[in-house]
């Protein structure tokens, strides 16, 4: 059974930084995507960032982001450990949300950005940014 375990999050002042971590267990996928989504109060869950792990060497480790977090957030990970980290800098009050780790059990040539693209989800971790 695939499980995703998130850690990190918390309360920070605007302009501050936080680090989220996620570890996936119970899978044997060799081509997969791990990413982060977030759900702000009263809004739909939205894509934040993702990293692709692939048996095609030049694709493995490629990352992509939602436009509003580019330049502020960095996603990285360890394929061997099935872990992903989201470093969040220059945080804004509008980044306040529950952040979810997600895993897509295959890769494609189109970036996976929709909830429906991902098969497995973590429980979520709260990030609150005060102004």
Question: How far apart, in whole angstroms, are the C-alpha atoms of residue 67 and residue 49?
Answer: 9
Question: How far apart, in whole angstroms, are the C-alpha atoms of residue 106 and residue 93?
Answer: 34
Question: How far apart, in whole angstroms, are the C-alpha atoms of residue 39 and residue 109?
Answer: 26
Q: Mean pLDDT throughout 23-31?
A: 90
Q: Across all residues in the chain, what is the average pLDDT?
A: 94
Q: What percent of the chain has pLDDT over 70?
A: 100
Q: Mean pLDDT throughout 97-105?
A: 97
pLDDT digits (tens, 9 = 90+) for 42-86: 999 999 999 999 888 888 889 999 999 999 999 999 999 999 999
Checking if the pLDDT of 110 tops 90, the result is no
């Amino acid at each position: 059974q695939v499980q995703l375990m998130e850690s990190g999050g918390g309360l920070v002042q605007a302009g501050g930084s936080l680090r989220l971590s996620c570890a996936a267990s119970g899978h044997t996928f060799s081509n997969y995507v791990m990413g982060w989504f977030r759900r702000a109060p009263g809004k739909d869950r939205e894509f934040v960032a993702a990293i692709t792990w692939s048996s095609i060497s030049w694709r493995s480790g490629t990352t992509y982001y939602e436009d509003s977090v580019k330049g502020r957030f960095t996603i990285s990970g360890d394929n061997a450990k099935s872990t992903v980290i989201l470093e969040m800098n220059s945080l804004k009050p509008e980044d306040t949300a529950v952040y979810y780790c997600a895993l897509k059990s295959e890769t494609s040539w189109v970036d996976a950005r929709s909830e429906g693209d991902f098969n497995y989800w973590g429980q979520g971790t709260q990030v609150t940014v005060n102004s």
